[in-house]
Amino acid sequence: MPLVDTYGRLHDNLRISVTDRCNIRCFYCMPEETPAYGPREELLTFEEIERFVRVAAGLGVRKIRITGGEPLLRKDLPYLIERLQAVPGIEDLALTTNGVLLRQQAKDLYDAGLRRLNVHLDTLDRERFRQITRRDLFDRVMDGLFYAKEVGFDPIKINAVAAKGIVEPDIVPLARFGREHGMEIRYIEFMPLDAQGIWEREKVLTADTMLAMIESGIGPLDAIPDADPQAPATEYRFRDGIGRIGFIASVSKPFCLNCNRLRLTADGKVRYCLFAIEEMDVRDLLRAPDADDEAIANVIRANVKAKWMGHQIGSSQFVPPPRPMYSIGG
């Protein structure tokens, strides 16, 4: 039986966080000081992750994205990539990274079979990068990004988080940069997932505002008819034929009704939504000497069954999840 929830949504997409640790401190995700990370022994091992993926693939999961925290901080990540690529049924594997360690790891990741990469970069301005991430690592990220391109990653997409009052000067230059280097920029509305509780509706730079900025700064854009209606980004191409961009408008235009995603946190919790309040543990089952795959499958099924219609960001009913972004896995 495929993973269909009570609203008829088919779930074939799994995001796996491999660590809650990070080497930078984006203000919309992490606290300024190093947070209380979960104990290392709570992190799922690669064998446990692989087993979970085999079970999930047996239930119809076809796409996987590795994330974190910063996934490249997880030792021997290429080994995991290799193992997951080989799981029958998995058709698509991608990774989201902040790029800081790409110079050291891009080649090994590519050799392990990874091709699709999202690199997180909000600005092309070194000082603003430092202000946003509280680390002076802009040059390392740029170097890693271009190195990944040289190694052969394709596509490379750029994740740019759009917080009002900060990144307005970056919206158009980023789109130009993407056109120049053949990388799609994905503008992501600032979501209420930060560790310090600073999110406010007024701090969200909306997709419509950014679209208008880019059209007036560069030129007209045409909506691309949904190739994949379940993809979170709404995509546009420049009318002159050079490049495309996407918006993840979780706040101003939620796409919950098309959601096909499930999440596995680094400490082994299954979550049906980034904003879910409740989650279901599979780590104990993965570690129990006598638990069979069917027991793990039952947790996945139960989580999909419990899925709500959607988050309520912006409404008075909205309650932010108990874990911030870095600890869930974006």
β-pair type (280-281, 63-67):
unpaired
129 interacts with, out of ligand SF4, ligand SAM, none, CB within 5 to 8 A per kind: none
Rounded distance between C-alpha atoms, residue 249 and residue 230, angstroms: 13
* 191 is a site residue for ligand SF4 (CB under 6 A): no
In whole angstroms, the minimum distance from the beta carbon of 324 to ligand SF4 comes to: 8
* 206 is a site residue for ligand SAM (CB under 6 A): no
| One character per residue 27-46, x = contact with ligand SF4 (rule: CB under 6 A) | --xx----------------
* 98 is a site residue for ligand SAM (CB under 6 A): yes
β strands within 180-290, DSSP E: 184-189, 221-223, 234-238, 244-248, 261-264, 269-271, 280-281
194 interacts with, out of ligand SF4, ligand SAM, none, CB within 5 to 8 A per kind: ligand SAM
* 105 is a site residue for ligand SAM (CB under 6 A): no
Q: Give 18's contacts (C-beta < 8 A, 6+ positions apart).
A: 43, 44, 49, 66, 67, 68, 69, 71, 74, 77, 80, 266
Stretch that binds ligand SAM, among 131-139, 189-197, 237-245, 266-274 (CB under 6 A): 189-197
C-alpha distances (whole Å) from 111 to each of 75, 170, 263, 297 are: 16, 33, 26, 31
Q: Are 277 and 321 in contact (CB under 8 A)?
A: yes
Helix 126-133 vs helix 138-151: crossing angle, to nearest 10: 100
Nearer to ligand SAM, 73 or 112 (CB): 73
| One character per residue 132-171, x = contact with ligand SAM (rule: CB under 6 A) | ---------------------------x-x----------
Q: Is 241 helix (H, G, I), strand (E, B) or coil?
A: coil
Nearer to ligand SF4, 3 or 161 (CB): 161
Q: What is the DSSP string of 293-315?
A: HHHHHHHHHHHHHT--S---TTS
Instruction: List contacts with ligand SAM (CB under 6 A).
Output: 22, 28-29, 67-68, 70, 96-98, 120, 159, 161, 188, 190-191, 193-194, 325-326, 330
Binding site for ligand SF4 (CB under 6 A): 22, 24-26, 29-30, 68-70, 98, 120, 325-326
